[in-house]
Amino acid sequence: MNNNLLLEFLSEKYISLINNHQLFNLIKNIAISCKKISSILDKGNLNDIFGKNNKINVQGETQTKLDIIANDIIIHENNCIGSLSGLASEEMEAFYKIPDNYKTGDYLLLFDPLDGSSNIDVNISVGTIFSILKINRKINNKEIIINDFLQPGIKQIAAGYAIYGPQTNFVISLGKGVHNFTLNKETSEWILTNEFMKIPKYTNEFSINSSNSRYWDKCIYNYVQDCLKGSDGPLSKNYNMRWTGSMVADVHRIMTRGGIFLYPWDSRNPSIPGKLRLMYEANPMGFLVEQSGGIASNGSKRILEIVPKELHQRTSVILGSSDEVSKLLISYINTY
Ligand code: AHG
């Protein structure tokens, strides 16, 4: 195994990063935030951190104590480094503007501080997802506005996630491939363990919460039925199924060994396009999946081309191994 460290490796691979102190520092501090969150999670309820916070977030979901702790860590570690003009989080209703007494920078950080947080109490992997955008206009007096954040996913400068599981990994792309680093908890260093992650084109593993099957549209319903028929059905192969309830864990599995992940629109709440958040979950994961050779779609459109209308916009998500996702997308084209 090599001993490539996160920042050294990225600076060597992406020469422009060495001269871009703002972006370099931002990645450095996001990685520090993830180490801190990891170390808090390691102690579990020894720190009395499990359970609800008794507040409902902007998504209408009950926050856990750890949602708030992770959110505060990311803001605290990144707001005074001079790289950002604002942050937006799944856990905060409005975006966070860098306080007047701090230096501002050219970038915006969007994040889900603790994805899959309902899994914490039962010791299943959770994660932090982030997306970095650049402000695409000249701004005076630090006056960022909501429109600065509302950029489609193709505009992401970098995106990634940390997964807190049996190991803690930091997976990042700056737009030229995806790299995976593992936290050595003895030395507190992120060590490169997978350069240029590649999602296998073919898969026989699907990932969906099938308790919602009666609410799915007919394309999703028929596709999953075909998977269940296995080698006796039209897909002519047997499938395996996995669903953790943490997008980070399900996507990390797909990034590592392939698969298809689906959280589609369903008729439980027909006016909402899906459960997952475009800016904090679908865009960063879509960026990573495409950078690893996979496909990320909402059924009718590439996720990264969706032009957001609001910060907390939701979307349907179908992503993973290119051959498998393509098969399903063809049935969408033929049906609608
Ligand atoms: P949250 O960030 O609020 O914990 O939501 C988790 C997300 C995502 O990580 C996961 O794929 C999905 O919600 C699971 O939803 P279901 O419980 O509906 O299966």
| Phi, psi dihedral angles at 215 (to 5 degrees) | -100, -5
**pLDDT tens, position by position, 150-208:** 999 999 999 999 999 999 999 999 999 999 999 999 999 999 999 999 999 999 999 99
Residue 61, ligand 1, Cβ within 6 A: yes
Whether residue 24 is found in the same domain as residue 112: yes
Range of the domain at 219: 205-335
Q: What is the DSSP string of 201-255?
A: S---EEE--GGGGGGB-HHHHHHHHHHHHGGGSTT-S--EE---S-HHHHHHHHH
Is residue 220 domain-resident? yes
Query: What's at 325, amino acid-wise?
Result: V
pLDDT at 142: 65
Whether residue 73 is found in the same domain as residue 161: yes
Return the residue whose CA atom lies nearest to atom 1 of ligand 1. Answer: 116
- What CATH number should be reported for the domain holding residue 29? 3.30.540.10
Work out the number of other CB atoms within 10 angstroms of the CB of residue 190.
Answer: 24
Whether residue 91 is found in the same domain as residue 121: yes
- What CATH number should be reported for the domain holding residue 247? 3.40.190.80
Q: How many helices (H) and strands (E) does the chain have?
A: 9, 17
Is residue 274 domain-resident? yes
Query: What's at 184, amino acid-wise?
Result: N
Q: How many domains does the chain divide into?
A: 2
318 in Cβ contact with 299 (< 8 Å): yes
Is residue 300 domain-resident? yes
Is residue 38 domain-resident? yes
Per-residue pLDDT, averaged over 259-269, amounts to 97
Ligand 1, pocket-test mutation among 59, 206, 210, 246, most atoms within 8 A of CB: 246
3-state SS, one letter per residue, for 15-55: HHHHHCHHHHHHHHHHHHHHHHHHHHHHCHHHHCCCCEEEE
Whether residue 139 is found in the same domain as residue 232: no
Is residue 42 domain-resident? yes
Whether residue 149 is found in the same domain as residue 223: no
Whether residue 169 is found in the same domain as residue 211: no
Whether residue 133 is found in the same domain as residue 215: no
Residue 210, ligand 1, Cβ within 6 A: no
Distance (angstroms) between ligand 1 centre and the Cα of 120 equals 12
Residue 70, ligand 1, Cβ within 6 A: no
Return the residue whose CA atom lies nearest to atom 16 of ligand 1. Answer: 245
Whether residue 45 is found in the same domain as residue 168: yes
Return the residue whose CA atom lies nearest to atom 14 of ligand 1. Answer: 245
pLDDT at 64: 83
Is residue 199 domain-resident? no
Whether residue 37 is found in the same domain as residue 186: yes
Those residues with Cβ within 8 angstroms of residue 36's Cβ, 6 or more apart along the chain or in another chain: 73, 77
Whether residue 183 is found in the same domain as residue 230: no
What sign does the dihedral 52-29-22-157 (CA atoms) show?
negative
State the pLDDT confidence band at 143, using cuts at 50, 70 and 90: confident
Whether residue 78 is found in the same domain as residue 136: yes
Is residue 200 domain-resident? no
Atom of ligand 1 minimally distant from the CA of 250: 11
CA angle 184, 291, 256 (to 5 degrees): 50
Q: What integer best gives the mean pLDDT of the chain?
A: 94
Residue 136, ligand 1, Cβ within 6 A: no
| Phi, psi dihedral angles at 166 (to 5 degrees) | -55, -40
Output Rg (C-alpha) for the chain, integer angstroms. Answer: 19
Q: Which domain-ending residue is among 194, 228, 246?
A: 194
Structure pTM? 0.96
Q: Which domain-ending residue is among 194, 226, 254?
A: 194
Q: Work out whether strand 168-173 and strand 158-164 pair parallel, antiparallel, or are unpaired.
A: antiparallel
Q: Give the C-alpha separation, 178 to 190, whole Å.
A: 15
Q: Please state, for a pLDDT cut of 90, what percent of the chain lies above it.
A: 85
329 in Cβ contact with 297 (< 8 Å): yes
**pLDDT tens, position by position, 64-119:** 889 999 999 999 999 999 999 999 999 999 999 999 999 999 999 999 999 998 89
Q: Which domain-ending residue is among 194, 215, 237?
A: 194
Of 74, 131, 128, 91, the C-alpha closest to 108 is: 131
Strands (E), the chain: 52-56, 62-64, 84-89, 96-97, 107-115, 126-134, 158-164, 168-173, 178-184, 189-194, 205-207, 240-241, 260-263, 276-277, 295-297, 314-315, 317-320
| Phi, psi dihedral angles at 27 (to 5 degrees) | -60, -40
* Residue 112 labeled ligand binder: yes
Whether residue 8 is found in the same domain as residue 137: yes
Is residue 31 domain-resident? yes
* Placement of tokens 């997952």 in the chain: 276
Residue 293, ligand 1, Cβ within 6 A: no
